[in-house]
Amino acid sequence: MKSLLLFILLCAVGNLAAQTTLQVATRNIRKTIAWKPGYELVINGEKAEVQVAPADTTAVIVTAELSAKHPSLDTASNDLDAWQFVVSTVGKKIYIRAYIGLPNGKKFPVSNMKVKITVLVPKTCPVNLSNKFGKAWLEQLEGPIALTGEFCSFQLVGLRGNVNINSQYGNIDGRQLGGKIDIQSKRTDIQLDGIRADCTIHSEYGQMVLNAPDMAGNLLVVGNRSDVTLEVPVAATHNISLHAAYSAVDAPSEFDTSASTVDNPRAILHRTADAPTITVETTFGKIIVKH
């Protein structure tokens, strides 16, 4: 009897999966926009996967795939029309905007809506990107970068310009970042590998793993209910100050912990007066130092 019930259940699940096969409606767009030094690229996305990369060009090249997924192809096709994709130049700003726009009286789409955007830019072009419920990948750019995300993950590789990030509910993964970094985050996990300049992070409710080699500049981390793992060389050249209020500091033996109290553990490593500094301060967040 149990075998028969299991067989019936598996058949029902199989039938349900067959009934919920998603149909996909797509629309592809390609645009080329003239660019001059001093122009800025501004991207506003919603449910978007965005990739920005350099190209040997004097233009901004945009490709996009707009999609809607639904068990009914007719529904997906109708919902696809709700996607609005706008590319325009106003003054010295090039705008790319992807959003769901509804005429009066039309119902909100019931399909799974997504847009994939790839942008090729001159490597010195400044980029200002805002995205909700998506992803963004930026690599090998030399201009300043400003990022704003809600439920959006950021992957950053080999950026040489200054990077400013405001993130809520989305992770940040940065590697070999050569410019100054400023991050304001809430409920965001952060991993930075190979910091090469000054870096400031203010975090609430997140996990941080920060790799600071000798070439790194000054690093300031202020965390609230955020745990920090700091990776430094064995013979670190920075002056390092750690303070974890109402939590704990786990540092190698060369750190001075004599100023610690039960509620305010501290650890200090002093090299020279003119050495760059690493300062990590947390409240209800643990600090761990690794070589």
Q: What is the pLDDT of residues 98-139, one digit of tens each?
A: 999 887 777 889 999 999 999 999 999 999 999 999 999 999
**Residue 156 domain-assigned?**
yes
Q: Which of 87, 104, 133 is the last residue of a domain?
A: 133
**Residue 207 domain-assigned?**
yes
Give yes or no: residues 206 and 259 share one domain: yes
Phi, psi of 122, rounded to the nearest 5 degrees? -60, 140
Give yes or no: residues 82 and 190 share one domain: no
The amino acid sitting at 77 is S
**Residue 99 domain-assigned?**
yes
**Residue 272 domain-assigned?**
yes
Residue 14, pLDDT > 60, answer no
Give yes or no: residues 112 and 202 share one domain: no
Mean pLDDT calculated for residue range 190-208: 97
Q: Say if CB 41 and CB 127 are below 8 A apart.
A: yes
Q: Which of 133, 158, 180 is the last residue of a domain?
A: 133
Neighbouring CB atoms inside 10 A of 62's CB total: 21
Residue 203, pLDDT > 90, answer yes
Q: Say if CB 218 and CB 280 are below 8 A apart.
A: no
**Residue 175 domain-assigned?**
yes
Cα dist from 44 to 87, 165, 236, whole Å: 11, 15, 41
Give yes or no: residues 211 and 274 share one domain: yes
Give yes or no: residues 167 and 49 share one domain: no
Q: Say if CB 87 and CB 108 are below 8 A apart.
A: no
Into how many domains does the chain fold?
A: 2
**Residue 1 domain-assigned?**
no
Give yes or no: residues 152 and 291 share one domain: yes
123-158 burial, b at 16+ Cβ within 10 Å, e below that, comes to eebbbbbbbbbbbbbbeebbbbbbbbbbebbbebbb
Q: Which of 72, 99, 133 is the last residue of a domain?
A: 133
Q: How far is CA 61 from the centre of its chain?
A: 22
So what's the pLDDT on residue 1? 47
Tell me the whole-structure pTM to 2 decimals.
0.89
Domain holding 40, by residue range, is 22-133
Query: What is the β-pairing status of strands 145-157 and 127-139?
Result: parallel
